[in-house]
């Protein structure tokens, strides 16, 4: 087993795992100093390509961005999302997962749960492909962002799905937008680490979309904490640049040849 995955597994009940998304090298190089896991999420579709959901992002685009991200990653575990439609059955999933790993040199792929793909995950893990699961709110199977309200029956189904994903050999699992009481129970019942997004501090780690926490994306649901306002900072810098160019203050002698 990949030593980075062993390290992630050994963290269960110890230190909280720090996880963030990246879509390119300049950001991944910074994140690599601080993160246990860097995810090339298919949120790329919304955040970078302005799509209304993640349903149409292609494998090619995910691979191209993952290659760029990999250039900045040395220490973190690099996970790449398998886009919708690329893991329809066991053989398609295996072919595409192998392609992602070969072309991007990432450590693992992530698959969103649709309560039907446990055998697909099992086939991947048996073939030596490390898999991160993803339960709760799964954007690939939803039209828009609406956190789910859980009845007792749905809670039981979610617990059951989490167990089946673990049994299928996944080494970790994202839990998205799930009430605290349920994510706490799931985290306790699993041996593999859970990574929460809108799923409480009781998960074994936390993940956010980096553009959201930096205040760049304009998407700030309740589970996002904005740690910076980069949008503002960029605007101020561009305004200064514009002013300097208009006033012939840039480029000056130092910037010229
Ligand atoms: O696509 C993504 O960025 C994700 C994270 C939000 C977990 O799946």
Of 112, 166, 176, 235, the active-site residue reads 176
CA distance 200 to 227: 18
| Minimal-distance CA residue to ligand 1 atom 5 | 41
Same domain flag for 95 and 52 = yes
pTM exceeds 0.95 for this model: yes
DSSP 200: -
167 has catalytic annotation = no
User: Whose CA is closest to 177, among 147, 155, 221, 144?
Assistant: 147
In angstroms, the CA 222 to CA 219 distance is 10
Q: What pLDDT was estimated at residue 220?
A: 86
What is the C-alpha R_g of the chain?
20
Task: Indicate whether 122 and 182 sit together in one domain.
Answer: yes
Same domain, 238 and 145: no
Structure letter (DSSP) for residue 73: -
* pLDDT values of the chain reduced to their tens digit, one per residue, 257 residues: 789 999 999 999 899 999 999 999 999 999 999 999 999 999 999 999 999 999 999 999 999 999 999 999 999 999 999 999 999 999 999 999 999 999 999 999 999 999 999 999 999 999 999 999 999 999 999 877 777 789 999 999 999 999 999 999 999 999 999 999 999 999 999 999 999 999 999 999 999 999 999 999 988 889 999 999 999 999 999 999 999 999 999 999 999 99
What is the pLDDT, as a whole number, of residue 98? Answer: 98
Whether residue 74 is found in the same domain as residue 181: yes
Question: Does residue 174 sit in the same domain as residue 245?
Answer: no
Residue 256's domain comprises 230-257
For ligand 1, atom 2: residue with the closest CA = 41
User: Do 16 and 48 fall into the same domain?
Assistant: yes
Same domain as 151, residue 216: yes
Same domain, 124 and 144: yes
- In total, how many domains does the chain have? 2
């Amino acid at each position: 087993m990949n030593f980075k995955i062993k390290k992630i597994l050994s963290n269960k009940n110890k230190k909280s795992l720090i996880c963030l998304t990246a879509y390119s090298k300049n950001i991944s190089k910074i994140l690599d100093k601080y993160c246990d896991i860097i995810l090339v999420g298919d949120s790329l579709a919304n955040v970078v390509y302005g799509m209304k959901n993640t349903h149409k992002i292609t494998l090619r685009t995910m691979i191209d961005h993952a290659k760029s991200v990999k250039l900045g990653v040395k220490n973190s575990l690099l996970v790449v999302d398998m886009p919708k439609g690329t893991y329809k059955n066991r053989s398609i999933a295996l072919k595409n997962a192998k392609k992602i790993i070969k072309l991007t040199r990432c450590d693992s792929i992530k698959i969103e749960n649709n309560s039907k793909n446990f055998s697909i995950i099992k086939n991947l893990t048996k073939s030596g492909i490390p898999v991160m699961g993803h339960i709760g709110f799964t954007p690939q199977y939803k039209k828009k962002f609406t956190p789910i309200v859980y009845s007792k029956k749905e809670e039981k189904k979610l617990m059951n799905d989490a167990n089946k994903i673990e049994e299928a050999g996944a080494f970790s699992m994202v839990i998205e937008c799930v009430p605290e009481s349920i994510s706490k129970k799931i985290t306790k019942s699993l041996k593999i680490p859970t990574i929460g997004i809108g799923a409480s501090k009781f998960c074994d780690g936390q993940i956010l979309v980096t553009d959201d926490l930096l205040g760049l994306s304009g998407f700030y649901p309740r589970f996002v904490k904005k740690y910076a306002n980069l949008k503002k900072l960029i605007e101020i810098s561009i305004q200064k640049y514009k002013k300097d160019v208009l006033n012939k203050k840039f480029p000056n002698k130092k910037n010229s040849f």
